[in-house]
Structure 1
Amino acid sequence: MAHDDDNGYDIEVLGQCRTNPREGSQHTQNVEARFLWSYAQEEALVALSEQGADKCWHLITDPERRAKRIAARYADLYFASADKSRGKLQMLWPALAAFVVKDIVDAYRYSREDVLNGGWSNMARTSGPSQLVSELLTDASPYEHSLRVYAALAKGNLWLFMDIYPWLWFVLEYGLNRDGSLNADRLRSHVEERDASTLQAQSRDAVKELPFGANWMKRLQARIEADPVYAHGRSYFQTAPTWGGMDGGYGQFEANAGQAHRYVKANVKNYDKGYRVPGSEYWGSFQQAFYVMEEERKELSRLVDDTGALGRLQKVAQFKVTDEVRKTYSLFIDEYALDRAGKVSSQQEEVNIIAKQEQINVLQPLIYQDPKLIKTMDINHRISRASLGSLSPTYTLYFSSAPKNADPALQATFDKPKGPWDYVTGKKMSLPNPTDRMVYVKELADKFNDLMKNRRSYMDGELQKIRGWLHA
């Protein structure tokens, strides 16, 4: 894939071989591992792209639409692995991941409609005597906290997919033969060969241009500095009187602010191209659009300046094998020959091992080492726990294709109070903390495994609905 300035990519021909004119003849072509890994990486890129009128593949810039595609791709791996292997191998972690990413889609929606939209519902979070709300107010505005989580989810979801999807798709495409048999030798040898530096040039360059990477950050910084929509919106305040005083200054300030908000809503799409958070198509409903833009500008500038985070992303983006990936490939190879009981046990172990790759090897360095995000998530958790989710949603996974369900058996809540005293004494855990998070992940995996054992038809039906987002 080759990059252009508007997030466009051309599909690259990774190699050529001679064709045989004899009808029905077959030939096995040994292709170097680096080419196969290039195809796998390209598959991940195309999965989150659309082909435009220029015949180039353009990355979907809206994190919400990307998340729906990601959830669908994970669900598809779950079903496709069983189909291609004739039932001898079925990847289970992607099914759990599909539900998790489905909830990320709703987290984006909540951020836009319940926080960034402003209005009376948002004022309930930012007024009153509550010590927790006061802490939120003195630390940062609800807009800043919401945008911080939104951007972190966009970054983590995208780059986790770029890491983990090619590992699993490779098994499906090159570890399973057309007749459903297993190519164990290829899996054992090729798992060691994935390395972003050895990808074909165009595929390698396309990865380098993805959001939150170094090149994207440079372009983002330039766009922030030259943002004409922000500059014009800010100009409404240049002649505005101060808030205080006896001359009606507050009223004039509010009038000028109203003009700025209307201008931003009307013109935000003119300066976007995938760098707005959220995408500019959603800003028409933001009542205080200019204030949202101020916080967006602040948060994105902070990310641009975070060289430590960029360095950690670049390390993850090398896509080199880890012990967890090696163990996963070994499990797949072993599972293929096991009986039904053995397969279930192997699949449950797969869920736990890939969860460690996901949470510790990828997401922890990518997003959970950000002190600002840690504070935001801890405040959100404390408020949601104390208010039973009325002022901020709890960190809950819902095992359904719908955003939420009413069945406690289909839910798993992080750090849920276990009694009145536990509720009164406040939060016990922090989601960004890797130890605390893995306790929750184990709880999710156990509940998921139980549901897959006892309510398989329901779970498969919900996963088929999520799979239907492949072209969302």
Structure 2
Amino acid sequence: MGAPDKVESQTNTTEKSCKELKCDCNLMWSMIQQMSTKRLCTLHGRNEGSIIPVFSDRARRISATYARFYLEKEDYGEPTKKGRFYWMALGAFASKTVACSLDDLRVPIIDPVFKGLAKGNLWLFYDISGWHWYYTRFRNSFDQCVSCRDASAYIKPVKDQVANYPWMDEALPKIANMHRHDHIVEAFDLVKQIESSRPGEDQERLKYQHLIAIANHEQGVILQPLIYDDACFARWVWVQRLRGIRSLSPKLQMAFTSACDIDDQKLKSEAPKETVLEDFQSRMQWITSVADIFHDLMQRQGAYMESQLNAMAGWVNMDQMQNYQPTYMFGAPL
């Protein structure tokens, strides 16, 4: 997989003296990117691995990671601060929904939609997980370094890894090398307020505001330019809304369960028929409605919601092809 996520300094030959090693923002961002890389890989040795090949497995590992962030089960998590990464809980259900769509036999037959969903979910993960891992691991320098993230400037071993990410040549220019951070700054300012607040109405309000800030980044900064502005993807999404075809297409919905669907209508949200998925404003209207339902469920049925998040957190090592022997390192998408 390349370089380990450690930095070594040449031995100092002066007895009883020290050699200072300075880690700048770019070096730390490079280290963080490796954490995102490793999460979606099968490791073959200390520093070697290959990305898991099945698209829906990637989506379930992503769902697991988001759930683990919310539950504070990731490395450097703090269980006493559970709830501060509020979007991550909703993100877990969203990535699970993508996994279910990718497994739906009606989706792979439309290749631009199949690969578009996989691509968007993958690159959103590469982007959004990094901000959260940096905050938990290097919190003291987050404010200083938040504006310095730039995938084109990573140290060479990490750039070499990123160069083999699926759809890299297309994705990185469209998402500005994972540099754009206006909504991220807003969201993590809210995280700090959540951390310093007491449980109650004010904290719940902050959590909801944080969720919407991340949603604006997710939808506007990453997914809109990466997949929804793609003419081919947008055209096929439009086709699925046509009379006679809509009824044969997968439902556009979010079900708040670790399963793909649930009978209880109060535990899911189906997009209104007038939703134009490829249009940012139209899509955000539905996503805001989903966020409202999610927020209500997290307050009224918190134990149930956390049980579903814990179930999804268990997918962190999902790999249906674990006995498959790849011939590439971080190869191109299937």
**Superposition TM-score, scaled by structure 1 size:** 0.61
The worse-fitting range, judged by mean Cα deviation, of 33-42 and 454-463 is 33-42
Contact 1:188/1:329 (<8 A) preserved: no
Contact 1:71/1:97 (<8 A) preserved: yes
In structure 2, the residue matched to 1:379 is 239
Is the aligned partner of 1:364 residue 2:224? yes
In structure 1, the residue matched to 2:332 is none
Q: Which residue type is aligned with residue 283 of structure 2? A: R
In structure 1, the residue matched to 2:91 is 97
C-alpha displacement of 1:441: 0.8
**The residue matched to 2:240 in structure 1 has which SS?**
helix
Q: Aligned partners of 1:105, 1:75: CA distance in 2, in Å?
A: 15
CA separation of 1:174 and 1:459: change in aligned 2, threshold 3 A: same
**The residue matched to 1:155 in structure 2 has which SS?**
helix
Is the aligned partner of 1:202 residue 2:61? no
Q: Aligned partners of 1:159, 1:428: CA distance in 2, in Å?
A: 28
Q: Aligned partners of 1:318, 1:349: CA distance in 2, in Å?
A: 26
**The residue matched to 2:138 in structure 1 has which SS?**
helix
Q: Aligned partners of 1:197, 1:86: CA distance in 2, in Å?
A: 36
C-alpha displacement of 1:313: 3.8
Q: Aligned partners of 1:173, 1:357: CA distance in 2, in Å?
A: 21
Is the aligned partner of 1:410 residue 2:256? no
C-alpha displacement of 1:154: 1.3
C-alpha displacement of 1:74: 0.6
Match of 1:330 among 184, 189, 192: 189
Match of 1:32 among 21, 24, 39: 24
In structure 1, the residue matched to 2:113 is 149
Is the aligned partner of 1:428 residue 2:287? no
Q: Aligned partners of 2:304, 2:39: CA distance in 1, in Å?
A: 27
Identity of aligned residues (%): 28
C-alpha displacement of 1:381: 3.0
Gaps of 5+ in 1: 1-8, 20-27, 117-142, 176-182, 215-309, 416-426
Contact 2:146/2:181 (<8 A) preserved: no
Contact 2:252/2:270 (<8 A) preserved: yes
Q: Aligned partners of 1:76, 1:204: CA distance in 2, in Å?
A: 27
Alignment coverage as a number of residue pairs: 309
CA separation of 1:446 and 1:53: change in aligned 2, threshold 3 A: same
In structure 2, the residue matched to 1:261 is none
Contact 1:384/1:392 (<8 A) preserved: no
C-alpha displacement of 1:213: 2.1
C-alpha displacement of 1:322: 2.1
In structure 2, the residue matched to 1:49 is 41
CA separation of 1:189 and 1:401: change in aligned 2, threshold 3 A: same
Q: Aligned partners of 1:352, 1:330: CA distance in 2, in Å?
A: 13
CA separation of 1:375 and 1:456: change in aligned 2, threshold 3 A: same
Q: Which residue type is aligned with residue 211 of structure 1? A: P
Deviations 1:195-252 (A, max 9, x none): 11331111112112211123xxxxxxxxxxxxxxxxxxxxxxxxxxxxxxxxxxxxxx
In structure 2, the residue matched to 1:212 is 167
Contact 1:74/1:98 (<8 A) preserved: yes
Residue correspondence of structure 1 range 64-143 to structure 2 within 5 A: 64-80=56-72, 84=78, 86-87=80-81, 90-111=84-105, 114=106, 143=109
CA separation of 1:379 and 1:86: change in aligned 2, threshold 3 A: same
Please give the root-mean-square deviation of Cα atoms over the aligned residues, in Å. 2.6
Match of 1:187 among 142, 148, 152: 142
CA separation of 1:211 and 1:382: change in aligned 2, threshold 3 A: same
**The residue matched to 2:257 in structure 1 has which SS?**
coil
**The residue matched to 2:131 in structure 1 has which SS?**
helix
**Superposition TM-score, scaled by structure 2 size:** 0.85
**The residue matched to 2:309 in structure 1 has which SS?**
helix
The worse-fitting range, judged by mean Cα deviation, of 375-384 and 451-460 is 375-384
Please say which structure displays the higher CA radius of gyration: 1
Residue correspondence of structure 1 range 439-450 to structure 2 within 5 A: 439-450=285-296
Q: Aligned partners of 1:379, 1:315: CA distance in 2, in Å?
A: 24
Contact 2:55/2:118 (<8 A) preserved: yes
Q: Aligned partners of 1:48, 1:115: CA distance in 2, in Å?
A: 22
